[in-house]
Amino acid sequence: MQAMLNTALVNPNTAAVDSGVTLLVVDDDEMNRLVLQTMLVRAGHRVLEACNGAQAIAMFTQHRPDAVLMDVMMPIMDGYEATQQIKALVGEHYVPVLFLTALTEGRALARCIEVGGDDFITKPFNATILKAKIDAALRVQQLYNKLEQQAQTIQQHNNYLQQEQEAAERIFRNIVHRGHLHESCFHYRISPAALFNGDMLLAAPLAAGGYRVLMGDFTGHGLPAAVGAIPAAEIFYVMTAKNRPLPELVRELNRKLKSILPSDIFLAACVLDISRDGVDIWNAGVPDVIIRNLPKGSPRYAASQHPALGILPDSVFSDHCVQVALTLGDRVYLYSDGVTEASNHAGEFFGEERLLQCLSEVAETENGVEKIWTAVNSFRLATEQADDMTLIEIIPGLIGGNAAP
């Protein structure tokens, strides 16, 4: 013990410099505490003392030291239990606990680590090793605290960005989805894969009766896929309100999107003018439009005939539309490829065959969209949604003679 004191009292005239670090020394042996206090004060640290684990927890709760030097075997509460409780108190914050031990048995040392210990300081104490281990633990603490501060800063920025995105999404939704999809002739579902929807679904009344509907699917999903939706929606609503013909609308959409979008973003879209008696369809890059007559049950299709909007120059762009007559009982279905490409845990796609099977089972009184949507979600079994999904059912028999306001 005298040798330990002699080691601790080297250079007694050397003035200690306050490091700003507070250490809690926990040991039931008063002489050990005295030796450690002498060494630590000489190193410039402030020192708190406790003689057992219970007192250590009380001291730690009151003073919150920067690190703890913890003996293992003590009365009332041993170092194992005290360390577990201290680690529970600090939560995710990092406070190093260095065990003071003369133990050499492997299981006992492993137990120190299991309860949250960060290192060992063996007895009898060596001033050089003691200083090195404490300095190393404090460096780790500084790095951890810096990472913790950076994580908090990142989280604050993320929260701010999330708030901005949510505000932008509300504006986006108010602009893009202000149409007439609430009318009884429409049943629809939209499910974005990200905060911003790369799919768009628009509906506006035609002056002669009926509705104009646009279902679009931008390349990808999220914000980059949605940047073209606002100008596209404005063109759609303005030109429809001005009673401009469908070919003129799609040509203007193509011209505008080609001028503003990067070359790797474009809009696959189907635009149609629909009334009780017939539908004009311009389909560019989305799945086939399905027309199914419920009493007869036989589907008809309007396949894509054009490249997506925003790809071709105006000189070679085609605005040709397909005209299809409608009869009583017909329903028209448009969907984005996110519906048929919804996958399950095995990586299988929902597929067109399952979709057509669902449609074949839709009764005249049923909502076909809800039937398909339920089937898709049951098939996915909560797997992550990989793409935006949009599905709409149009019932021409519910369209009034004049749908304009």
Using the predicted structure, report yes or no on whether residue 270 has a pLDDT greater than 90.
yes
| Predicted model pTM | 0.64
Residue 124: asked if its preceding bond is cis (omega within 30°), the reply is yes
Is residue 12 within 8 Å of residue 132, measured between CB atoms?
A: no
The first and second tokens of residue 290, run together, are 């399905």
Contact (CB, 8 A) for 218 and 226? yes
Is it the case that residue 307 has pLDDT exceeding 90?
yes
pLDDT tens digits, 353-365: 999 999 988 888 8
DSSP assignment letter at 402: -
- Reported as a single tens digit per residue, the pLDDT across 226-251 is 778 888 999 999 999 999 999 999 99
Residue written as tokens 């501060």? 149
**Rounded distance between C-alpha atoms, residue 187 and residue 325, angstroms:** 21
Per mean pLDDT, which range of 102-111, 194-203, 275-284 is the poorest?
Answer: 102-111
Q: How far apart are CA 206 and CA 244, in angstroms?
A: 10
The pLDDT tens digits of the residues spanning 58-117 come to 999 999 999 999 999 999 999 999 999 999 999 888 999 999 888 667 777 788 888 998
Residue in 126, 115, 125, 121 with CA at minimum distance from that of residue 103: 121
pLDDT given for residue 306 in this prediction: 96
Tokens of 373: 């949507």
Candidates 3.40.50.2300, 3.40.190.10, 2.60.40.10, 3.40.50.2000; CATH matching 2-149: 3.40.50.2300
53 vs 162: CA distance, rounded Å = 45
Q: Give the β-pairing of 267-274 and 211-218.
A: antiparallel
DSSP output for 286-317: SPPEEEEETTT--EEEE---SPPBTSS-GGG-
Q: Where are the domains of the chain?
A: 2-149, 177-398
Q: Which residue has the higher pLDDT, 231 or 222?
A: 231
Residues in the chain: 405
Q: What kind of architecture, by CATH, is found in domain 177-398?
A: 4-Layer Sandwich (3.60)
Mean pLDDT across the chain, nearest whole number? 87
**DSSP-derived secondary structure letter, 8:** H
- Write the CB contacts of 327 (distance below 8 Å, at least 6 apart in sequence): 293
DSSP one-letter string for 28-93: S-HHHHHHHHHHHHHTT-EEEEESSHHHHHHHHHHH--SEEEEESS-SSS-HHHHHHHHHHHHTTS
Both tokens assigned to 95:
């406070």
Share of the chain above pLDDT 90, in %: 61
Closest by Cα among 188, 210, 211 to 201: 188
What would the mean pLDDT of 209-228 be, rounded to a whole number?
A: 83
Distance CA(46)–CA(48), nearest Å, equals: 7
Task: Give the β-pairing of 278-284 and 289-293.
Answer: unpaired
Q: What does each C-alpha distance from 341 to 194, 218, 291, 390 come to in angstroms?
A: 16, 15, 21, 12
pLDDT at 17 over 70: no
Task: Give bridge partners of residue 334 from the DSSP assignment.
Answer: 392
Helix, strand, or coil (residue 190): strand
Residue range 158-188, pLDDT digits in tens: 888 788 777 766 766 666 666 788 999 999 9
Is the dihedral angle over the CA atoms 239, 240, 244, 245 positive or is it negative? positive
Answer yes or no: are the C-beta atoms of 281 and 324 closer than 8 Å: yes
Q: What is the mean pLDDT of residues 266-285?
A: 96
CA pair distance 286, 306, nearest whole angstrom: 10
User: What mean pLDDT comes out for the span 280-291?
Assistant: 96
